[in-house]
Structure 1
């Protein structure tokens, strides 16, 4: 997905929200999906991974080629990476 397509998709999601065709949570899911698709296409063969932990990394989403690489990327982004597990975002 190129930048223009991503912007159009976000604009369509915002228009649907403004016209009452979707809820805020549906809007958030749509925009999140557009951004993940754009980022994954932009970065090549990477996929999105979500971190789970009892620390500051919980919920963080990173792009990586593998789960071990995703854990390394999370560790680079947070000061205290504690017992981080990562799982692919569907």
Structure 2
């Protein structure tokens, strides 16, 4: 899914919510699904791809875009305001 398709799908989900055809929970689920699909299909500029953290800590489930695993770990650490060496999670391509 490209960026334009993702945005159109999110706009459609919001229109359905605004018109009362969908409740908040269903809209949230729909938007999350759109974003996850976009992230897993992401084909960015040279070398960029989506990476996900898995583990028991706060990083679990976070997905970031980076050029490599090391940069992804740094971005996750920045999001959590932690030192990259203290992140208790595996980081791998989505």
TM-score computed with the length of structure 2 as normaliser: 0.57
Match of 2:37 among 30, 33, 36: 33
How many angstroms does 1:88 deviate by? 1.4
Which residue of structure 1 aligns with residue 88 of structure 2?
83
User: For structure 2, which runs of at least 5 residues remain unmatched after alignment?
Assistant: none
Distance in 1 (alpha carbons) for counterparts of 2:53 and 2:40: 18
Which residue of structure 1 aligns with residue 58 of structure 2?
56
How many angstroms does 1:48 deviate by? 0.8
**In 1, are the aligned partners of 2:59 and 2:88 still within 8 Å (CA)?**
no
SS of 1:69's partner is helix
Equivalent residues, number: 81
Cα RMSD (Å): 3.1
How many angstroms does 1:31 deviate by? 3.7
User: For structure 1, which runs of at least 5 residues remain unmatched after alignment?
Assistant: none
CA gap 1:26/1:77 in 2 versus in 1, 3 angstroms: closer
How many angstroms does 1:33 deviate by? 2.1
CA gap 1:6/1:74 in 2 versus in 1, 3 angstroms: same
Match of 1:72 among 66, 71, 74: 74
**Per-residue Cα deviation, 1:27-66 (whole angstroms, up to 9, x for no partner):** 23124323x379x55x524111111232221111111111
